[in-house]
Chain A
């Protein structure tokens, strides 16, 4: 089955640090990747849609200068939380859809990154 690898799984750092999270599709090409944020007992909140070779599309209310997304290849997208503050602490999850799959596309998720800003 399609596998998405996300690293790191956990980050604890001081306020003001920038943190980079990687999301890789291991056995398929992903023209589109998605970045979500999840709070306890709440639904996945889509932050942005990452498209290979073009700029990411950010959801309303998500600061693109705060959450930098790069999708440089068909297998790798990165999310950088710049100058992170305690309010950025959350569970960040990426997902990818297989390129060329017709119709509704199941999303394959990474295992998430628990970000804690002190």
Chain B
């Protein structure tokens, strides 16, 4: 079955640095990969979607890469701020009614 792995350990970084989160997957070739942000006690918020034929996608301070050979996506937040502290979820998505599968997320703490 499809499996997604995100680092379960929290990532602690200093304000202003670049945060890099990793998402690895197995047993599937997703057509899309999505990243969401989730704050405690809240629902996830969609951030970025990258297609299988795209290597990189950017949105403001966010950058996502998608390596279908390594079966890995990297999520970068540049010039990180304390307000970026949250849990970030990656999700595999496909076509033809394929249901979206979410990773457990990585908790990011940005210290001022």
Contact surface of A with B, Cβ cutoff 8 Å:
4, 6, 34, 41-44, 46, 49, 91, 93, 95, 103-112, 114
Identify B41's interface contact among A6, A95, A112, CB under 8 A.
A112
Minimum CB distance partner of B100 in chain A: A107
Q: How many cross-chain pairs have Cβ atoms below 8 Å apart between A and B?
A: 58
Q: How many residues of B contact A (CB 8 A)?
A: 24
| Chain B nearest Cβ from A38, distance in angstroms | 9
Distance in Å: Cβ of A22 to nearest Cβ of chain B: 14
Q: Does A107 lie within 8 Å of B46, measured CB to CB?
A: yes
A4 CA to B43 CA in the complex, in Å? 10
Chain B residues with CB under 8 Å of chain A are: 4, 8, 31-32, 34, 36, 41-46, 49, 51, 89, 93-95, 99-100, 102-105
- 30 pairs of residues in contact across A and B, judged by CB atoms under 8 Å: A4-B43, A6-B43, A34-B99, A34-B100, A41-B8, A41-B104, A43-B102, A43-B103, A43-B105, A44-B44, A44-B89, A44-B102, A46-B99, A49-B99, A103-B31, A103-B95, A104-B32, A104-B49, A104-B51, A104-B94, A104-B95, A106-B34, A106-B49, A107-B34, A109-B43, A109-B46, A110-B43, A111-B42, A111-B43, A112-B41
